[in-house]
Amino acid sequence: YNSGSDKWNGIFKKVSTIYAENGSGKTTFTQILKSISEEDDEYIQKRKSLGSSAPISIQIIDDHKKTIKYASNHWNIHINNIEVFDFLFVESNVYLITLGNYENPGTLFEVVIGDEAIKLFNNIKNLRTERKKLTQRRRNLRLKIKTADEADKYKLECLVQKALNQSSLINAEITRLEKQLSIVAEDFGKIYLQKINEYLRYFSTNLELTKLNKKGSKFVYFLRISNYDVRSESDSVSLRHTLSEGEKNALALSFFLARLALKPNIEDYLVVFDDPLSSLDYNRRNVTINLLSNFARKANQFILLSHDLNFIKDFTLRVPDALNLKIVFNGETSIFIEQDVKKETLTGIFKDLLVLDTFIKYGETGEYDKRDVVRCIRPCIEGLFRIKYFTYIDDTKWLGDIIEFIKHADEHSIFYRQKDNLETLCDINDYSKIYHHSNPNYLEVPINTEELKTYCRRTLELLTKI
Residue 424, phi then psi, degrees to nearest 5: -65, -40
Does residue 216 lie within any of the structural domains? Answer: no
Position 439, amino acid: N
* Backbone angles phi and psi of 244, in degrees to 5: -75, 165
Query: How many structural domains does the chain have?
Result: 3
Shared domain check, 149 and 44: no
**Mean local confidence (pLDDT), 311-340:** 92
Same domain, 263 and 169: no
Identify the pLDDT of residue 95: 43
2 belongs to a structural domain: no
Among residues 217, 215, 137, 140, the alpha carbon closest in space to that of 170 is found at: 137
Residues 331 and 351 in one domain: no
46 located within any domain? yes
315, 337, 359 - which closes a domain: 337
* DSSP states of 79-126: ---EEEESHHHHHHHSS-EE-B-SSSB-GGGGTS-SHHHHHHHHHHHH
For 369-410, what is each residue's pLDDT tens digit?
A: 888 899 999 999 999 999 999 999 988 889 999 999 999 999
Tell me which residue of 440, 448, 263 sits closest to 373, measured CA to CA: 448
Closest C-alpha among 415, 427, 410 to residue 388: 415
Residues 397 and 454 in one domain: yes
Integer Cα distance of 460 and 43 in angstroms: 53
Q: Are strands 74-75 and 228-231 parallel, antiparallel or unpaired?
A: unpaired
Q: How does 287-305 read in b/e, with b if 16+ C-beta sit within 10 Å?
A: ebbebbbebbeebebbbbb
CATH number at residue 325: 3.40.50
* Residue 96: predicted pLDDT: 46
Residues 39 and 126 both lie in one domain: no
Report the range of poorest mean pLDDT among 45-49, 84-88, 243-247.
243-247
The answer to the question of residue 184 being in a domain is yes
Look at residue 100 and tell me whether its pLDDT is greater than 70. no
pLDDT surpasses 60 at 413 = yes
pLDDT given at position 99: 45
CA 12 to chain centroid: 15
Same domain, 308 and 361: no
Tell me how far CA of residue 196 lies from CA of 83, 98, 226, 357, in angstroms: 17, 16, 17, 49
Query: 209 burial class (0-12, 13-18, 19+ CB within 10 angstroms)?
Result: buried
**Pair 352, 333 in one domain:** no
Domain shared by 80 and 153, yes or no: no
User: Residue 373: which of 362, 389, 387, 384 has the closest Cα?
Assistant: 362
Specify whether 180 is located in the same domain as 288: no
Instruction: Give the pLDDT confidence score for residue 109 in this predicted structure.
Output: 43
Please give the mean pLDDT across all residues of the chain.
Answer: 84
When mean pLDDT is compared across 270-274, 275-279, 339-343, the lowest value belongs to: 275-279
Instruction: List the single range of 318-322, 419-423, 433-437 with lowest mean pLDDT.
Output: 433-437
Rounded CA-CA distance 12/62 in Å is 10
Q: Which of 302, 337, 372 is the last residue of a domain?
A: 337
Say if 383 falls within a structural domain. yes
What average pLDDT does the segment 23-38 reach? 89
Q: What is the DSSP letter of 336?
A: E
Q: What is the pLDDT of residues 112-146, one digit of tens each?
A: 445 567 678 778 888 989 999 999 999 998 888 88
Among candidate residues 153, 175, 190, the one where a domain is terminated: 190
Alpha-carbon gap, residue 142 to 153, rounded angstroms: 9
The boundaries of the domain holding residue 411 are 346-465
pLDDT of residue 237 exceeding 70, the answer is no
Residue 236 lies in a domain: no
pLDDT value at position 125? 83
Report the pLDDT value the prediction gives residue 130, as an integer from 0 to 100.
Answer: 92
Residues 350 and 458 in one domain: yes
Mean pLDDT calculated for residue range 260-274: 92
Q: 48 in a domain, yes or no?
A: yes
One domain for residues 311 and 386: no
Model's pTM, two decimal places? 0.76
Inside any domain, residue 221: no
Sign of the torsion angle spanned by Cα atoms 48, 51, 56, 62: negative
CA atoms within 13 A on the CB side of 358: 18
Q: What is the mean pLDDT of residues 282-305?
A: 92
Q: Is the same domain home to 279 and 351?
A: no
pLDDT score of 204 more than 90? no
Write the single-letter amino acid at 212: L
- What residues does 60 pair with on adjacent strands? 68
Question: Coil, helix or strand for 364?
Answer: helix
